[in-house]
């Protein structure tokens, strides 16, 4: 279904991001549960999710605060975990950089793994979308994600019940990310980027403060870009 209006772009974003509900619910409930177990009030827990809106960074900060790590270390570690958001911001810029400033600011606040991967997949698939359509699509993607992030943080904090470990909800996140990435392997360069990044992530797993993730990401991006250059020059060589 091609997007023809900003309204249909919003609706398509909403539908495309719907599978993420399966991740957001367990993930945000878990944060609510763990935060209240760590002694935060319901209000503090909810404020944490609304102000920061970044699951992995919130878990990191919570864990380190419980261990009474120095505040500077808490902030540095949690921000390092979130460093990938700067890379997301950079890669969204060619697509939405021309939108009005308030929309870009709002989109920045709402940039999470799910809204990013969902939007990028669409922008790459339909490069002819207008800027308003892209923004509508982005806000469509956010609609089933962010309100539930708040709501289930709150419910988790209120209920405080333990989700049984046998449900293996830890794996909801890897499964949805893999499912989202798979259709993005459109060229050999994309595959090379993913393989190099994965291997690099395993090799750098011991690097502190999650900086291994950033190194692995950079390695994958360089590998993808180099493969693209190499494939292009080979094509030219054959044509000439």
Partner 1 sequence: MIDTGTLWFVIIALGLGSFGLRFVFTGLVGDREMPAWLLRHLRYTAVAILPALVAPQVLWPAATDGTFDPARVAAAAVTLGVGIMTKNVLGAIIAGAATLYAMLWLLG
Q: Could you say which residues in the range 2-31 bind partner 1, by CB under 8 A?
A: 16, 18-19, 22
Options 5, 37, 91, 188; binder of partner 1; rule CB under 8 A: 91
CB-facing half-sphere around the CA of 147: CA atoms within 13 A: 8
User: Helices marked H in the chain — which ranges?
Assistant: 6-17, 21-37, 42-52, 55-66, 71-81, 84-96, 101-109, 113-125, 131-142, 146-159, 172-181, 188-203, 211-239
Contact region for partner 1 (CB under 8 A) — 2-10, 140-148, 149-157, 183-191? 183-191
CA distance 40 to 91: 36
| Angstrom distances, CA of residue 51 to CA of 45, 185, 189, 226 | 10, 34, 37, 38
Identity of the residue, 109 or 147, whose beta carbon is nearer to partner 1 in the bound complex: 109
* Interface map 105-144 toward partner 1 (x if CB under 8 A): x-xxx-x-x--xx--xx-----------------------
Identity of the residue, 47 or 161, whose beta carbon is nearer to partner 1 in the bound complex: 47
Contact region for partner 1 (CB under 8 A) — 2-10, 24-32, 152-160, 214-222? 214-222
CA distance 143 to 27: 17
- Is 89 within 8 Å of 112 (Cβ atoms)? no
Options 1, 2, 101, 239; binder of partner 1; rule CB under 8 A: 101
Q: Does 73 contact partner 1 by CB under 8 A?
A: no
Q: Does 198 contact partner 1 by CB under 8 A?
A: yes
| Count of residues touching partner 1 (by CB under 8 A) | 97
């Amino acid at each position: 279904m091609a997007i023809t209006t900003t309204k249909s772009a919003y609706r398509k974003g909403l539908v495309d991001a719907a599978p993420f509900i399966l991740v957001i619910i367990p993930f945000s409930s878990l944060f609510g549960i763990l935060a209240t177990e760590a002694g935060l009030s319901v209000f503090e827990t909810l404020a944490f999710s609304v102000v920061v809106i970044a699951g992995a960074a919130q878990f990191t900060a919570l864990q380190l605060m419980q261990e009474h790590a120095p505040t500077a270390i808490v902030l540095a570690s949690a921000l390092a975990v979130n460093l990938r958001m700067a890379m997301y911001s950079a890669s969204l810029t060619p697509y939405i950089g021309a939108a009005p400033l308030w929309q870009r600011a709002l989109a920045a606040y709402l940039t999470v793994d799910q809204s990013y991967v969902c939007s990028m997949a669409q922008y790459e698939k339909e490069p002819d979308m207008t800027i308003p359509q892209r923004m509508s699509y982005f806000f469509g993607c956010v609609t089933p994600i962010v309100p539930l992030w708040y709501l289930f943080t709150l419910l988790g904090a209120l209920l405080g019940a333990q989700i049984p470990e046998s449900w293996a909800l830890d794996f909801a996140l890897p499964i949805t990310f893999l499912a989202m990435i798979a259709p993005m392997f459109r060229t050999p360069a994309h595959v090379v980027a993913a393989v190099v990044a994965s291997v690099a992530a395993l090799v750098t797993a011991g690097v502190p403060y999650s900086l291994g993730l950033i190194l692995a990401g950079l390695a994958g991006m360089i590998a993808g870009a180099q493969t693209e250059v190499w494939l292009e020059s080979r094509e030219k060589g054959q044509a000439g």
